[in-house]
Amino acid sequence: MTSTRRKAVACGSSQRLLTGRGLRATSQRGLILDVIRRRGGHLDADEIHREARKREPRISLSTVYRTLQRFKELGLIEELHLDEGHHHYEMKPTTEHHHLVCLGCGRVVEFCYPLAERLKKGVSEIRDFEIRSGEITLSGYCPECRKKRSESG
C-alpha cells in the first residue's frame, strides 16, 4: 500500500470514528487522532502538536489541547498521568494494560499482568467497592538507562 493510500485509509477511518461519536470530522481532528494512532500513544500534548505540525504547520497548540479534551470526553482516548509534569494520551485501549515508565529516558512500556485483575477483584470484594477502572504504573530504569547508570557510576 502506498504512503498516500495509507494516509487516505487512516483519514477515512478517523472520520468514521469521529462522526460515529457525533463529532464533526475536521481535518485537524482527524490529524490529531491519526498522530496518536500512528505513534501508539503515550504522547503528551506538545509531542502531538510537534508531530501534527509536520503535516499541518498552522495547527495551534490550543487546538491540540481542546481536541484532546473533547476526545477524552467522548471516550476516544485516555489521559494518563505517568509522571508529575505531563499528561500523556493514548487511544482508548481494547484490553486492560498497565505501564512501566523509565525514570531515565521517559520511555513508556505497556504490560499486561493477570495478577492486576485479581487485585482489583479482591479489593472490590473486601471493600464492597465497585471498581470501574484502575491503572498500575511502575517506574524505574529500562535496560539501556541501567547500563548507562552503571557505566557512569
Average pLDDT, the chain: 83
- Per DSSP, the chain holds a count of helices (H) and strands (E) of 6, 5
Instruction: Determine the length of the chain.
Output: 153
State residue 75's pLDDT score: 87
The answer to which of 6-10, 77-81, 93-97 has the lowest mean pLDDT is 6-10
For 44-73, the pLDDT digits (tens) are 999 999 999 999 999 999 999 999 999 999
What pLDDT, on a 0 to 100 scale, did the predictor assign at position 84? 65
Domains of the chain: 1-94 (1.10.10.10), 96-153 (3.30.1490.190)
Which range has the worst mean pLDDT, 8-12, 15-19, 45-49, 90-94? 8-12
3-state helix, strand, coil in the chain (%, to 5): 50, 15, 35
Whether residue 137 contacts residue 98, with contact meaning beta carbons closer than 8 Å, is answered with yes
Q: What is the pLDDT of residues 102-123, one digit of tens each?
A: 999 888 888 888 888 888 889 9
